Amino acid sequence: MNTIDVTAAEDIELRILATRARRNVLRMLDAGGSGHLGGAYSCIDIVTALYARVLRHDPANPGWTGRDRFLLSAGHKALAQYAVLALFDYFPAEVLDTYGAFGTVLPGHPDMKKLPGVEANTGALGHGTAIAAGMAMAARTSVESWRTFVLLGDGELAEGSNWEAFAMAAHHRLGNLTAIIDVNGLQISGEAEQIMGMEPIAEKMRAFGWVVQEIDGHDYRQILDALGRARVDTSAPTAIVAHTVKGEGLGRLAGTVGSHYWTPSREELGEAFIELDRRLVSLGRERVA
């Protein structure tokens, strides 16, 4: 077993980091006026944990060939990755204020040729896992051996190309590949299960030959335990089915379909900043205590 322990103090640090990341997302919305907040907030605890504790990466050398790869198949969750990359100094925080502007390096969907740290140009759903499988396959025959992590949404699972890629990764025994499925249960038109039922997701992934773990995607002990177990090189790829809340982190948006693409008024945005800032103060007190 190769799990990653999380002490109480580390848990607070991770929650502070993720709250700062959520604040970075608001900063981008402040600049651009709107964005895919809901899915970014449902996965942002996982993305934070990956960069803080799991990925072998070097912000000063983002093209390091031995780096672990992390890519979004659900490319519309790019705000989460941008927010975390900024925290880890992949680019100056001021760049967040270019979100929404013509020619920004932070487009609505990620572009690997524009922003160091981005591994693939996703946004059209159902592409990421096959690309990730290629990266994982290349790692097996490279001198430097990296791991590949791909994050999908649950609504995205209706795209058949995912299931091609799931079959392929299992058939080729890509034990160095981990897919994290952000199951927030909501998509643009409503409840995922009402629009196109893909449950039981975990059972389907097992049937496709993946090692499957189910976790609460906002609980750092569970997130890091699962990512730690995935690190054990097995002969099968690992799927982490993460149950999450869309828009998690802002009281009035959490669990709402409306958070999917949020166009806040100035007042709503101001209130959201206040809510996160209060959260940071309270976490700071927990840290001291």
The 3-state secondary structure of 182-228, one letter per residue = EECCEECCEEHHHHCCCCCHHHHHHHCCCEEEEEECCCHHHHHHHHH
Query: Does 135 participate in binding another protein (rule CB under 8 A)?
Result: yes
Does residue 185 come out as left (phi exceeding 0), alpha (psi in the -120 to 50 range) or beta? left
Reference 43, options 23, 58, 21; nearest CA is: 21
Query: Does 121 participate in binding another protein (rule CB under 8 A)?
Result: yes
- DSSP assignments along 34-86, one per residue: -B-HHHHHHHHHHHHHIIIII----TT-TT-TTPPEEEESSGGGHHHHHHHHH
Between 112 and 274, name the residue whose CB sits nearer to another protein: 112
Question: Rounded to the nearest whole angstrom, what is the least distance from the CB of residue 159 to another protein in the complex?
Answer: 9
What letters, b where the CB count within 10 A reaches 16 and e where it falls short, cover 252-279?
A: ebbeebebbebebeeeebeebeebbeeb
Between 165 and 283, name the residue whose CB sits nearer to another protein: 165
Between 164 and 216, name the residue whose CB sits nearer to another protein: 164
Between 83 and 174, name the residue whose CB sits nearer to another protein: 174
Query: Does 143 participate in binding another protein (rule CB under 8 A)?
Result: no
Query: Does 141 participate in binding another protein (rule CB under 8 A)?
Result: yes
Return the structure tokens found at 92.
């100056």
Tell me which of 16, 31, 105, 130 binds another protein, using CB under 8 A: 130
Q: At what angle do helices 160-171 and 128-140 cross, to 10 degrees?
A: 20
Between 163 and 273, name the residue whose CB sits nearer to another protein: 163
Site track 155-194 with another protein (rule: CB under 8 A), x = hit: -----xx--xx-xx--xx----------------------
Per the CB < 8 A criterion, the answer to whether 247 and 79 are in contact is no
Between 138 and 207, name the residue whose CB sits nearer to another protein: 138
Query: Does 265 participate in binding another protein (rule CB under 8 A)?
Result: no
Question: Rounded to the nearest whole angstrom, what is the least distance from the CB of residue 208 to another protein in the complex?
Answer: 12
Tell me which of 59, 62, 116, 134 binds another protein, using CB under 8 A: 134
Query: Does 152 participate in binding another protein (rule CB under 8 A)?
Result: no
Query: Does 26 participate in binding another protein (rule CB under 8 A)?
Result: no
Tell how far CA 120 is from the center of its chain.
14
Which stretches of the chain bind another protein, using CB under 8 A? 65, 112-113, 119-122, 124, 126-139, 141-142, 160-161, 164-165, 167-168, 171-172
